[in-house]
Chain A
Amino acid sequence: MEWIVSKYNYWIYILLMMIGFYAMIGKKNLVKKVIGMNIFQTSIILYFISIGSKKGATIPIAEHGLGGPIQAIQYINPIPHVLMLTAIVVMVSTFGVAMALLIMIYRRYQTIEEDEILKLRR
């Protein structure tokens, strides 16, 4: 049962991902779908950040007091943090544009429910 005890953090990320995924495909309100997309992206960001951790290491800011040359084993991996800064910015951008598109849909159809919009288009 080693693979349950040491890997349960991935199971939490998969749970969050599946909650977001179900919101994207199972709900009828368009705003709830966009919120589901947001939850999905947040779980991906959490997963990437957790990859870069190391046991007994400190935050990736070089301290003067640790003595000696900087060793890579004392600091956690900074690269997932960098990539996830970009991912957070992309998340905010897609959320803003999705909300603007929803405002345009509301102006055109006067409703936000998906089945009513499909009925009006037919």
Chain B
Amino acid sequence: MIAPFEDVVIRTACRLLIPFIQLYGLYVIAHGAESPGGGFQGGVILGASFILLSLAYNADEVRKRVSEKRNLIFCSVGLFIYSGIGAVCLALGGNYLNYSRLHHLLPVDPVYARALGIFGIEVGVGMTVMAVMLSIFLDLASKHEDEGEMTSLGMDR
């Protein structure tokens, strides 16, 4: 049986670090066009910050901040943004996911509209990846009613 481990040093260090990790994750998503990065990488960094919070405290602390219903809404909205941008391009007269047709909607030239379309779908992908990482971790690490003490990692009180 694993007992939950509380330590003041770990809790304080994680409390100080987690906002910076999340800011770095948003930076990696937004700078996918200029430097190495993009949607998947930034989404995993954001998800890892929530997993760090869950490891330093317990899983209920994360569920207080991001409830499971809100997590699922994040997951679906990310995928909806991705296919929504494709459908908007289809409605404006081009192929599906042909971002240069977005210049009818936004006041930019067709080549820059592709860069804006790429940024839009990176945001969608980042949201979905972050929500699914957190959801899979909380599912696997929580204690269930009919199992013994051995399966919980001590993260639920």
Contacts and interface: CB of A to CB of B under 8 A. Distances in A.
Determine whether A and B are in direct contact in the complex, meaning some CB atoms lie less than 8 angstroms apart. yes
Interface of B: 34-36, 40, 129, 133, 136, 139-140, 144, 146-147, 151
A118 interface: no
20 contacts: A59-B36, A61-B34, A61-B35, A61-B36, A85-B40, A88-B40, A89-B40, A92-B133, A96-B136, A96-B140, A99-B140, A100-B139, A100-B140, A103-B140, A103-B144, A103-B151, A106-B147, A106-B151, A107-B144, A107-B147
Interface of A: 59, 61, 85, 88-89, 92, 96, 99-100, 103, 106-107
Nearest to A85: B40
Contacts of A59: 36
Contacts of A61: 34-36
A60 to B, nearest CB: 9
A107 B144 CA distance: 10
Contacts of A92: 133
B118 to A, nearest CB: 13
Contacts of A100: 139-140
A61 B33 CA distance: 9
A88 to B, nearest CB: 8
Contacts of A88: 40
B82 to A, nearest CB: 14
B42 to A, nearest CB: 12
Nearest to B137: A96
Contacts of B35: 61
A59 B144 CA distance: 47
Contacts of A103: 140, 144, 151
Contacts of B139: 100
A106 B133 CA distance: 23
